[in-house]
Amino acid sequence: MRVKVLSAAVLVAAVAAAPAAAFTNPQIPGLQVALHARGFYRGQIDGIAGPLTAQAVRDFQRSKRLHVDGLAGPQTRRALGRLGRPLFGSRPLARGAIGWDVSVLQFMLTRRGAAAPRLNGNFGPGTHAAVVRFQRRVGLAPDGIVGPATRAALLGRKIAVPSRRPPSVVYRVRNGDTLAGIAARYGSTVAKLARANRIRSPNVILVGARLVIPNPAPRMPSGATADEVRAHIDRWAAHYGVDARLARALAWMESGFQPGIVSPVGAWGVMQITPATWDFVTTVLIGFPVPRTAEGNVRVGVAYLRHLLREFRGNERLALAAYYQGPAAVRARGLLPESREFVADVLALKSRM
C-alpha cells in the first residue's frame, strides 16, 4: 500500500489561525525532525502542523533564500539535506536507512507503543528492535523490514492487495488417485468434490479427467524449524542454480519461514504454493511427484523461481513480480503497484539474508 501524501508539498502554511490539532499529515513528524536537526523547530515532535511548525518552515526558507511560502516542497526538502527526503512510504525501510521516512517511522512506532529510543531519522539497532516488537504484536513476520504490510499496520489501515490466487483449481486425475485422496490432499471432502463435478459415483473417477477443486486449502506438516527451512532453501537453490539469498528473501517475504501457513485462498507452505502451481511444477518442470513436506514445498518453490528467472531472462525484478501476480499478467499488464512493493521488499531482504 502506498502512502498517499496530502499534497505534492507537505502543507504547513495557513494553519496559524487554526486549532493546533485541526490539520495533521502522517509526513509531518519527518518535517519536524528535519527542522529540529537544523535548529529551526524547538517544539514537540507531535505530528501536528501547528503554528510553530509553520513558522519554522518559513524561517528555514528565509535562511536558505528560498521562496517563503510555508510549503515543504521539493526545494525546501532538498535544502534540509538527508533528513529532508524521501517521504514515508516511498521505499522499504531496514536497518542502516537514514531520512525523513525513518523519522516518521520512529514517531509512529512511539504512537503505537513500540517506541524507538530516538527520533533522529537514523534506522539503528534500537529502531530495528522497536519494529520487530511492533511486528510481533500485530501478527506480522518479525523481520525488522518496514514494507507495505508494516506501514499499513502503523497507519492503522488494512493493506489492500488484490488476490493473485484463484478461488478454485483444476486437477487432472492420475493413475492411482481416489476421490477421497484428492479431497484430503486439498483440504476438501468427497461430498464437496462430487457436488462440484457432478459425480454420481464417488468410487469411480477416470484417469485424465479434470476435477474442479473449489476453495482449496492444502494441509501440510508444520514441524520444520526455521534453521531446517533455511537449510532446505540453500540445498535446493544450489541444486537449481538460484541465488540462495534471493530464494531466502522470497521465502521470508511469503511466509517468514513458516511451513504450516495456509492462505485463505489455498496458497500454502514456506513458499506459498498454490495447488495449480504445485501441479505445474511437479508435472512439467520436475516430472515426478514431490512429497508434501516443508522440504518438498521449498523444492517446488525454488524450481518455479528458476523457471521464472529463465522465462524473464534473469531479470529478478520481473521474475519476482511474476511469482507474485503471475507471469501472464506481468507480460500483459506490467507490474501492478502491489507487485512493485512486493519486489522492492524482497530485494531489500535479499541484501540481508
* Structural domains of the chain, ranges and CATH numbers in brackets: 10-154 (1.10.101.10), 168-214 (3.10.350.10), 226-350 (1.10.530.10)
Which residue carries 505445474 as its cell? Answer: 280
Question: How much of the chain exceeds pLDDT 70, in percent?
Answer: 85
Question: How much of the chain exceeds pLDDT 90, in percent?
Answer: 29
* pLDDT given at position 158: 44
Write out residues in the chain with pLDDT < 50, as ranges: 1-8, 11, 13-23, 158-166, 220
Q: What is the Cα–Cα distance from 27 to 53, expressed in whole angstroms?
A: 12
Q: Which residues pair with 168 in a beta bridge?
A: 214
- Which is the catalytic residue, given 228, 254, 311, 316? 254
Residue 99 is classified by DSSP as S
Q: What is the Cα–Cα distance from 91 to 107, expressed in whole angstroms?
A: 17
Show Cβ contacts of residue 54 under 8 Å, excluding neighbours closer than 6 positions: 12, 13, 14, 15, 16, 70
326-334: Cβ within 8 A, 24+ apart: 326/164, 329/164
Residue 196, exposed/middle/buried by CB under 10 A (0-12, 13-18, 19+)?
middle
Residue 282 is classified by DSSP as I
* pLDDT given at position 135: 86
Q: What is the Cα–Cα distance from 196 to 80, expressed in whole angstroms?
A: 62
* pLDDT given at position 65: 93
* pLDDT given at position 89: 83
254 is a catalytic site residue: yes
